[in-house]
Amino acid sequence: MRAMCGRYVVAYDPNTLIAGFSVVRVDPFPKRWNVAPMSMVPVVHDTRDGERVAELMRWGLLPHWAKDEKLAAKLNNARVEGMADKPSFRQAVRRRRCLLPVSGFYEWQATPSGKQPWYISPRKARSDEPLFAFAGLFEAWRPTGSADDAAWLLTCCIVTTEANALMAPIHDRMPVIIAREHWAPWLDRSLQDPAALTPLMAPTDPARLQAWPVSRAVNRGSAEGEALIEPLPATG
């Protein structure tokens, strides 16, 4: 089983989250077409006071008990299978769930000529849902021995599951995409029974997605720009 490669697109304005996700506060961020792990990314979550906000968090989870920041590089994804019992994720599964709004994501298909990147996004017909809402977990971390007034580092990861019919020819894993009607319970901090979360993470209907191969330029972490998501020209 191959791990998710971990790149996605944030090509929307921050104000989109105010109307689309009903947040009362949003941190500013730039549009990006090649977001990689360890980047600061917009994340929607409910605060302890019951407000829904969109804050920037670093992609790569750091559990509160981590001794240093090295662990984050290994925890950009959480496999849905058994995550509720794993030390790195079990507290966040129960108390700190979030949504990562994305325009689309990349995945790499193994081919005889090497790995071919594909771009996956919502179908244009789904104008009522122009963004994906990835299931995520988040944590607040600071080094052991920090002063009481030291700043907390907010970090997050993406929950992944087995590929659906559209994704299977490309890759064997995909992000868990939370349907709009399940956003509220997924973010609800009082819902702490992992068994109750299973229906919220139902497999995504392939009809909601579209996919096409794109330039291998996206392989470079420094590559940016809207051209990265353009379909490859037809051949033959």
Residues acting as catalytic residues: 5, 107
Question: How far is C-alpha 27 from the geometric centre of its chain's CA atoms?
Answer: 17
CB 38 within 8 A of CB 72: yes
- Which amino acid is it at 93? V
Token duo for residue 95? 């108390």
* CA–CA distance, 176 with 126 (Å, rounded to integer): 18
In 3-state terms, what secondary structure has residue 6? coil
Q: Which two tokens stand for residue 220?
A: 């470079």
Looking at residue 109, its amino acid is Q
- Measured distance CA(77)–CA(1) in Å, rounded: 14
CA-based angle 171:174:180, to the nearest 5?
Answer: 150
